[in-house]
Amino acid sequence: MMHDVVVVGAGLAGAAAARLLADSGRAVLVLERNDFVGGNCADEWSPEGILVQRFGPHVIHTESREAWQFFSRFAELIPYHHRVETCVDGQNLPFPINRDTICQLFGAQITTDEIAEFLATEVEGSVYNDPPENFRDVIVSQVGQRLYEKFFHNYTIKHWQMDPTELSAEVAARVLVRQNRDSRYFLEKYQGLPATGFSAMIDEMLNHPQIEIRLATDYFADRYEYDDHAKEQPIIFTGKLDSYFNFEFGHLGYRSMRYEFRALPVAKYQTAAVVNYPNDYDFTRVIEYKQMNMSKAENTVICREYPVEDGIPAYVVLTPENISRRAAYLAKAEALEAAGEVYFVGRLAEFRSYNMDEVVLSVMNKLAPLTGDIH
């Protein structure tokens, strides 16, 4: 097959890009370094018959009907409301922080109408920069010093291996606080999981006669062959932004995880699908995937996540230095996009903390000049 476009990466961004391009009539070549598709969304069936996500829990949650309909084309989406707890002072408490969290932690009887006043009092007695300058400032300005110390401070140090004051305030935009009893982790209108898993969904996304996939193929090994033809055969790049430009402005920061899976001879291990451990142990959280896909398996499987420096990039590290480097790289990327030669899409290629719907919407927006805005 002769190809009109080359897509680098078969994770969610690459698969969505390939499918949109193929639907618009383009012949697409997908190059994937791994021997599997799905990137960090990849999942597999354990011997116990439980669908486990290989690289941490992913959930589709969005206010965008367009994004939800796109996912729905390739999988039956099962309604699912994610719930997380945090172990503090020996108790598993609802997280994000809500009324029940505060009542259980402090042994207080506070009504929903009194939560805002309680948090305002906590904040008033705390010290932080106003306006907030960093991650710590944002959280303390929302919940006060006491709750920050119990839920966020040590978790942030463990997860990012840096002081919370070194992290951009942008990171805290993903942190939620509730002034009611709602224990759902996400609040968006559309929430769910693909019935047969994310890998199967990505496989179906790539199942098109106009798409050719080459697994275990490193774009960088032959990049000049593809780059030389970029004017007539555009490249959609979903890998690390700094690596595309040979680290011209220095390395961008990423955090990785080590995933330790254990099969256990019990029907249920913990009280929520995810339990965070900010103040104890080397791992940050424990995931019990059986609670996410409602498996009827007799036993269960848990996964402990340990932050590590090297490995598959799981999180972008948003420090002021990295944000400055990102701006320098994106200026070069935008010039290539304006020329219609290379398009940078996805979490790694844009160096942003995207949710799954945001990845798809970014792909749709960026590739509109190539797809004719066909979704």
| Cβ contact 150:88 at 8 Å | yes
DSSP one-letter code for 177: B
Rounded to whole angstroms, the Cα distance separating 62 from 188 reads 5
The pLDDT assigned to 209 comes to: 98
The pLDDT assigned to 225 comes to: 83
Side-chain-facing half-sphere of 47: CA atoms under 13 Å: 5
E strand map for 156-244: 190-194, 211-214, 235-237
C-alpha angle 47/52/359, rounded to 5°? 150
CA distance to 100, 113, 146, 257, 293, per residue, from 124 (Å):
21, 18, 12, 36, 42
Walk along the chain (375 residues) and give the pLDDT tens digit of each residue: 689 999 999 999 999 999 999 999 999 999 999 999 999 999 999 999 999 999 999 999 999 999 999 999 999 999 999 999 999 999 999 999 999 999 999 998 899 899 999 999 999 999 999 999 999 999 999 999 999 999 999 999 999 999 999 999 988 876 778 989 999 999 999 999 999 999 999 999 999 999 999 999 999 998 988 877 777 899 999 999 999 999 999 999 999 999 999 999 999 999 999 999 999 999 999 999 999 988 889 999 999 999 998 899 999 999 999 999 999 999 999 999 999 999 999 999 999 999 999 999 999 999 999 998 655
Rounded to whole angstroms, the Cα distance separating 330 from 348 reads 12
The pLDDT assigned to 374 comes to: 56
- For the chain, which residues make up each domain, given as ranges? 5-80+191-253+316-371, 90-174, 254-308
The pLDDT assigned to 375 comes to: 58
**Helices and strands in the chain, H and E counts:** 15, 17
For 264, the 3-state DSSP assignment is: strand
Rounded to whole angstroms, the Cα distance separating 170 from 287 reads 26
The pLDDT assigned to 53 comes to: 98
Residue 249 CB partners (closer than 8 Å, separation 6+): 242, 325, 328, 329
The pLDDT assigned to 224 comes to: 84
Residue 129 CB partners (closer than 8 Å, separation 6+): 137
> How are beta strands 84-88 and 274-276 bridged, if at all?
parallel
CA distance to 36, 84, 234, 278, per residue, from 96 (Å):
34, 8, 43, 13
pTM of the entire structure?
0.95
The class (CATH top level) of 5-80+191-253+316-371 is alpha beta
